[in-house]
Amino acid sequence: MDVPILHRMKNEFDHRNLWLQVVLGLLSAGERLERMLNHHAPAHPAEQPDGSPPAPAEAADEVLMAFVLGLVGSKAHLHEVLERAATDGGAPNPEPPDPPPPSHSTFGSFLR
């Protein structure tokens, strides 16, 4: 008998949920990145650790700069998404959707 996957997962918020661990891992890495950037690239140049004025970046630095910016942008986006999800998903859904028809339960069958 096909058992849809959505109705088999009752207590998914524990260490067995690897998606949860991935999200927590990304959050942790993002927090660490922000702390590191706040220390090494402070908001005001005068706050440079050695007190020296910043030197201009070379053209070859651009790709690494874009890479770091990509990490920062992704981290900011992750925060936005999670905050939105926490706000929207905090309340229980009063009317859960009907279970899908058996003909579409390939995924559930595959995992069983």
Which CB sits closer to other proteins, 14 or 58? 58
Instruction: For residue 105, give Cα distances in angstroms to 8, 76, 92, 100.
Output: 12, 36, 24, 7
Number of residues lying near other proteins (CB under 8 A): 46
Interface residues for other proteins in 48-77 (CB under 8 A)?
A: 48-49, 54-58, 60-61, 63-74, 76-77
Cα 65 to Cα 55: distance, rounded to the nearest angstrom: 14
The encoded tokens of residue 57 equal: 């970046």
**Minimum separation from the CB atom of position 47 to other proteins (A):** 10
33 in Cβ contact with 72 (< 8 Å)? yes
**Minimum separation from the CB atom of position 48 to other proteins (A):** 7
Instruction: For residue 92, give Cα distances in angstroms to 12, 18, 24, 72, 87.
Output: 15, 23, 22, 32, 11
Of the candidate residues 5, 17, 27, 29, the single one contacting other proteins (CB under 8 A) = 5
Which residues of the chain form contacts with other proteins (CB under 8 A)? 4-6, 36-37, 40-43, 45, 48-49, 54-58, 60-61, 63-74, 76-78, 81, 84-85, 88, 97, 100, 104-108, 110
